[in-house]
């Protein structure tokens, strides 16, 4: 098997027209199990891509490869710097005030309270700069994690189920905030999620990782609106690709009945 060559250039962010990620032939497994094989993936700067797949299909592993935390077994490509990530848990340092947490990844020479305050204002937490992480709600802590990622002005933003632990209302607000801030900061974004609606609501393009390959690469476009035929079609296609039969509540009640009450 040829050696994997994945480069992580330390250069300044590139122009928007360029790719944040370009992988070809990416192959990765653990022990006897191959998670993905010969995979090609391109994410442009400013593009929001969602990655769906069954549990254990290798989504987080692919994200870890893009972060440089795992290596490929084969393949090559380029992942543009700087990169930042937000995970399911906020991963704040409890012994540091909120504004200090925001600066965790910023080179010392660029660190300033002003920079942290600006980043916190963007996520609506300017007033919590001096708070301790333990005093924040789950949604607030996740917004600090988002500020900590965006303050780096990443060329690539990796989101690993960042909304999964939030209540339904907070999740919707956080989804809107993330999409708005991604439009403003224009990183290439890869969102790993289990949630078809979340993927279609947020992403420009939705990928499905299945059987070691990307089996679907769908542009969302006018299908974002669930009530349109295109929206219903895309969601049905994604559920089908994920091996889930869509359930229509009440449909069984309308099934024809044979005379005498037996099911047709
Ligand atoms: N460091 C590791 N060593 C051995 N096996 C691993 C390692 N990391 C992940 N795996 C295995 O690889 C498979 C894919 O894991 P991964 O976390 O990438 O899947 P996923 O699609 O993100 O799953 P989920 O949706 O449940 O989070 C799993 O079977 C997991 O146990």
63 lines ligand 1 (CB under 6 A): no
53 lines ligand 1 (CB under 6 A): yes
Q: Residue 151 — φ and ψ, nearest 5°?
A: -65, -20
Q: Are 139 and 87 in contact (CB under 8 A)?
A: no
How high is the pLDDT of residue 105? 95
Residue 51 pairs with which residues in a beta bridge? 192, 207
| Strand ranges of the sheet holding 48-53, from the earlier edge strand across to the other edge | 83-86, 156-160, 188-192, 48-53, 205-210, 213-219
Q: What gap in Å lies between CA 96 and CA 107, rounded to an integer? A: 17
193 lines ligand 1 (CB under 6 A): no
Sequence-distant (≥ 6) Cβ neighbours of residue 211 within 8 angstroms: none
Give me ligand 1 centre to Cα 74, in Å: 18
Atom index in ligand 1 nearest the CA of residue 31 equals 4
Q: Which residue is it, tokens 């632990």? A: 165
How high is the pLDDT of residue 256? 43
128 lines ligand 1 (CB under 6 A): no
Give the tokens for residue 193.
């999620």
Q: What gap in Å lies between CA 24 and CA 254, rounded to an integer? A: 49
Report which of 79, 84, 110, 113 is spatially closest to residue 10, judged by C-alpha positions.
Answer: 79
Q: What gap in Å lies between CA 59 and CA 209, rounded to an integer? A: 7
Q: Could you state, in order of their start, the residue ranges of all structural domains in the chain?
A: 45-72+154-245, 92-152
pLDDT along the chain (264 residues), means of 10: 69 66 96 96 97 96 96 94 96 98 96 98 97 97 98 97 95 97 97 96 98 97 92 96 74 44 35
227 lines ligand 1 (CB under 6 A): no
How high is the pLDDT of residue 12? 56
ipTM of the complex model? 0.97
Looking at domain 45-72+154-245, its CATH superfamily turns out to be P-loop containing nucleotide triphosphate hydrolases (3.40.50.300)
Q: What gap in Å lies between CA 95 and CA 9, rounded to an integer? A: 32
- How many residues are there in the chain? 264
- Of 28, 37, 61, the residue with max ligand 1 atoms within 8 A of its CB, to mutate for a pocket test, comes to 61
Protein residue with least CA distance to atom 17, ligand 1? 60
Q: Are 142 and 154 in contact (CB under 8 A)?
A: no
């Amino acid at each position: 098997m040829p050696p994997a060559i994945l480069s992580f250039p330390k250069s300044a962010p590139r122009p928007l027209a360029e790719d944040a990620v370009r992988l070809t032939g990416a192959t990765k497994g653990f022990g006897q199990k191959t998670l993905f094989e010969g995979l090609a993936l391109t994410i442009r700067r400013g593009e929001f891509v969602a990655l769906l797949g069954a549990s254990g299909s290798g989504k987080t592993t692919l994200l870890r490869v893009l972060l440089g935390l795992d290596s490929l077994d084969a393949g090559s490509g380029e992942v543009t710097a700087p990169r930042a990530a937000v995970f399911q848990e906020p991963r704040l340092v409890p012994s540091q005030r909120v504004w200090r947490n925001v600066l965790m990844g910023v080179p010392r020479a660029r660190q300033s309270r002003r920079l942290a305050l600006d980043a916190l204002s963007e996520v609506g937490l300017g007033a919590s700069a001096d708070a301790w992480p333990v005093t924040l709600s789950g949604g607030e802590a996740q917004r600090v994690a988002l500020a900590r990622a965006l303050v780096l002005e990443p060329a690539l933003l990796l989101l690993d189920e960042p909304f999964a632990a939030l209540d339904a209302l907070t999740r919707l607000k956080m989804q809107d905030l993330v999409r708005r801030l991604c439009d403003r900061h224009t990183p290439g974004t890869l969102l790993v999620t289990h949630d078809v609606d979340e993927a279609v609501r947020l992403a420009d393009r939705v990928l499905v990782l299945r059987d070691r390959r990307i089996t679907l690469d769908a542009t969302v476009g006018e299908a974002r609106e669930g009530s349109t035929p295109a929206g219903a079609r895309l969601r049905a296609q994604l559920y089908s690709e994920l091996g889930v039969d869509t359930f229509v509540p009440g449909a069984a009640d309308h099934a024809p009945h044979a005379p005498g009450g037996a099911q047709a």
